[in-house]
Amino acid sequence: MSRDSLSVDTEWAKERNAAFGKERANRVARNAVTSADVMAAARDTTKMRTYSDTFGVTVPKTAEVTNQRQSGRCWFFSAMNALRHDTMTFLDVDTIEFSQAFGMFYDKLEKANSTLEYVIRTADLPDDAREVCYVLDYGMGDGGYYSFAMNVVRKWGIVPKYAMPETACSRNSSQMNAQLERLVRKHAFTLRRMHADGASEAELRAAKQDMLADVHQLLATCLGEPPVTFDFVMKVGKGCKADAAKLSPIEPAPKPASDDAQGEKDDSRASQVIRDLGITPLQFAERYVPVDPEDYVALVSMPGESRPYGHAYHLTLTDSVQGGTPIRVLNVEPQVLEQAAIASLKAGVPCAMSCDVMQEFPRSIEDFKYVLSLDGEDLNGLFGVDLSMTRADMIDARETSLTHAMCFQGVELDADGRPKAWRIENSWGKDQGKDGYLVMSADWFRLYGGEVDVRREFVPADVLRLWDEAPVEDVAPWSNICHALGTRD
């Protein structure tokens, strides 16, 4: 092989530069991209305008759109947005929001414990061993999975947002995370040195408990102290199913001289007040969130020769709650995953989902910033190169991963009952997308999506049997399957 074949030939580059501008299509594409950026220049308005926010199957009761701000908590927002649907029905209210700061506090505390526990388990490995590096690099991040949220609910409970509101550090977590990661890494190497000096596991875990006190101190400073008890007081509707002893009627206000329709509307819903005083977060979850946090199946669709369907995976070194439900997924054909989500939506129950949200997403385009589709952005035509890849190849090439969690709230079906488009509840605030929602074509989700967390009742019996009985393969967090699963943030 000649030396020149190992590098980019300078004369070849000069010829390419000269030839590029001679083509009209190249000049138009260059001017558009350099002026408006890639997504705006690639936008195909003829295709985008065919997508509408009208769906044949929709969840009848949706709440106010939430906003994770500059934090990586989409997985927790998504899970809480799915759970609150049942609370709204139970209380007969139009909206409620659970405290994401409360969940963040205990998620971080549990992650610190797990990170230090993994440090103890890998104490015999060198400092630069891949396992040690992974734990120290990623153990304390904001990202997570549906199982992380359900473990927090099962162990610590839920509180309404007013009982532990957002703070500067929950809305923008970067500064808190920087100090938290430094603290945990410092303690991690203290544990490793103790092990090298001959400390027993019992001594290491005793030291770990003292270290967690520092973590709690930092978290309480940044997020505030989580409530041990709080007063749950809220206006609810006539159909509220709560303990009647905790309900009291609202005295109707005197009607104005002109009894208009607005007065009737205001009087028609919140007819009573619930007062449950001195309640714990676990009691709130048990009494007012009528969903079993263990009652779900995590279905993914990860095609590829090394990823057979019907196979279950567990992500090692990743579980955030020691003693909780491990993060486990079942790999299934895309239509199996889709039909489980459709069954949930037909029953009026939203479900959490995950996708690679920034793929072919014109987020900054004012006209169609809510459309996720494969035909709305003509990237191949814009650049004059073939960018297409199969999902299996993208997973193997580490081109895609499930980076963001949201909620399915609706679906449009074709004549054969297959999905044509999905309605998605996001957690970026009501000013993003279309009033906080996205429209996602079915083919986009098949290429860039690939996970739903759905209740067992909506999963076919044969798939449920696999979920319950299939052997679970432990996979390293740097493997292709784990990379594809991402760390939703």
> Which residues are the active-site residues?
74, 404, 426
Those residues with Cβ within 8 angstroms of residue 107's Cβ, 6 or more apart along the chain or in another chain: 76, 144, 148, 152, 320
Q: Which amino acid is at 225?
A: E
Q: Are 488 and 73 in contact (CB under 8 A)?
A: no
Helix axes 174-196, 100-121, angle to 10 degrees: 20
**Nearest to residue 281, comparing CAs of 233, 226, 225?**
226
Q: Count the Cβ atoms, other than its own, within 10 Å of residue 396.
A: 18
Using a CB cutoff of 8 Å and minimum separation of 24, what contacts does 188-192 make?
188/115, 188/116, 188/119, 188/135, 188/136, 191/116, 191/119, 191/120, 191/123, 192/119, 192/123, 192/127
DSSP string for 118-174: HHHHTTTS-TT-HHHHHHHHHTT-S---HHHHHHHHHHH---BGGGS---HHHHB-H
The two tokens of residue 114 are: 């797990």
Q: Are 470 and 438 in contact (CB under 8 A)?
A: no
Rounded Cα distance between 137 and 140, Å, is 8
Rounded Cα distance between 62 and 289, Å, is 16
357-384: b or e for each residue (b if 16 or more CB lie within 10 Å)?
A: bebbbbeebeebbbbbbbbbbebeebee
Q: Which residue bears the tokens 């500059």? A: 70
Distance from the Cα of residue 217 to its chain's centroid: 27
Rounded Cα distance between 79 and 61, Å, is 16
The two tokens of residue 449 are: 């999506």
Give, for 451, the enclosing helix (H) or strand (E): strand 451-454
